């Protein structure tokens, strides 16, 4: 069975000591491609290096995540343009985040879950930018993706109304864009689909309390469905983890090779047999990212 990880962060500091082993185990599990997302200027070079080391596996993606907007340098646009000129890459992780404004994070916090699991690089502080500043940076990157017809990987927390407003008025890449770890209202799915959205399901939604998110994914059109790990974050429930891994501090983190278990979880809300799901996700992944594959 061929597997495709639509969104992860293999460059993350917590995975560095294990990268070669992680890649080997991921490929042994049948993972054909993974989109590795840079989130800030400090990690773009690391994503580039990984894509050069593992060109058969990694599709690089470069973007300025809303958490790091306030830390951007004056050269961030020029640096991003240079990377995209030199590399077949997507644009992301980009987006909007109201949650971070309501609840400033401690030193270690997950982008997607709000749990104390993520350790941003020491070079990057998290100083939340106001939503209008986030929107300015997001729109510039979205327009760039549209101009170059590059898939965009979009993060959104508690800003779905604003995101829909922006997507309706701004140009978007013809190939489409991914709403990674989609946690928005199910009522928005038809509108977002018409705008070109793909919806990516993480293993984290297998946790019992994520009933609303699972229900939303039952409404996602099958030709718009993707699967992701978001490793090292958004782990599956412990009883579903096939590849346990700890960070240097001994805390459990998500291994990209757990992707098959995410597919197995995803077969339930979609009502599909696992093989059928894998064929659908492969077709969707190739439709969105295929022109970037080597």
pLDDT at 104: 55
- The backbone torsions φ and ψ at residue 21, rounded to the nearest 5 degrees and listed phi first, read -65, -40
CA dihedral 118, 119, 125, 126 (to 10 degrees): 10
CATH 3.40.50.150 fits 3-292, yes or no: no
Q: What is the mean pLDDT of residues 153-166?
A: 98
pTM of the model: 0.93
| Each residue's pLDDT tens digit, 61-119 | 999 999 999 999 999 999 999 999 999 999 999 999 999 998 755 444 454 444 434 43
Is the pLDDT higher at 294 or at 239?
239
Q: Give the helix/strand (H/E) hosting 148.
A: helix 131-148
Long-range interactions of 100-106: CB distance < 8 A, separation 24+:
100/66, 100/67, 100/126, 100/128, 100/157, 101/128, 101/130, 101/131, 102/158, 104/128, 105/67
- Percent of the chain at pLDDT > 70 equals 91
> For 253-288, how does the pLDDT look when each residue is reduced to its tens digit (9 = 90+)?
999 999 999 999 999 888 899 999 999 999 999 999
């Amino acid at each position: 069975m061929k597997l495709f990880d639509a969104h992860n962060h293999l460059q993350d500091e917590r995975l560095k000591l294990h990268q070669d082993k992680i890649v080997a185990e991921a490929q042994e599990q049948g993972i054909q491609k993974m989109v590795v997302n840079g989130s800030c200027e400090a990690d773009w070079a690391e994503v580039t290096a990984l894509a050069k080391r593992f060109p058969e596996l990694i599709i690089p993606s470069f973007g300025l995540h809303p958490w790091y907007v306030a830390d951007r340098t004056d050269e961030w646009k020029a640096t991003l343009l240079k990377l995209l000129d030199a590399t077949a890459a997507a644009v992301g992780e980009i987006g909007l985040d109201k949650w971070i404004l309501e609840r400033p994070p401690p030193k270690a916090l997950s982008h997607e879950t709000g749990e104390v699991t993520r350790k941003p690089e020491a070079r990057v502080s998290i100083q939340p930018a106001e939503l209008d500043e986030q929107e300015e940076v997001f729109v510039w990157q979205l327009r760039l993706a549209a101009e170059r017809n590059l898939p965009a990987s979009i993060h959104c927390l508690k800003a779905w109304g604003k995101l829909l407003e922006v997507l309706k008025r701004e140009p978007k890449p013809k190939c489409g864009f991914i709403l990674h770890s989609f946690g928005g209202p199910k009522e928005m799915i038809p509108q977002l689909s018409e705008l070109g959205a793909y919806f990516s399901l993480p293993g984290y939604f297998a946790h019992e309390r994520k009933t609303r998110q699972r229900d939303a994914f039952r409404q996602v059109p099958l030709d718009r469905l993707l699967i992701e790990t978001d490793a090292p974050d958004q782990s599956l429930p412990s009883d579903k983890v096939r590849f346990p891994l700890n960070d240097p501090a001994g805390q459990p983190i998500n291994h990209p090779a757990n992707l098959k278990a995410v597919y197995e979880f995803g077969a339930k809300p979609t009502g599909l047999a696992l093989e059928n799901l894998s064929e659908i996700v492969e077709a969707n992944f190739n439709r969105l990212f295929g022109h970037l594959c080597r």
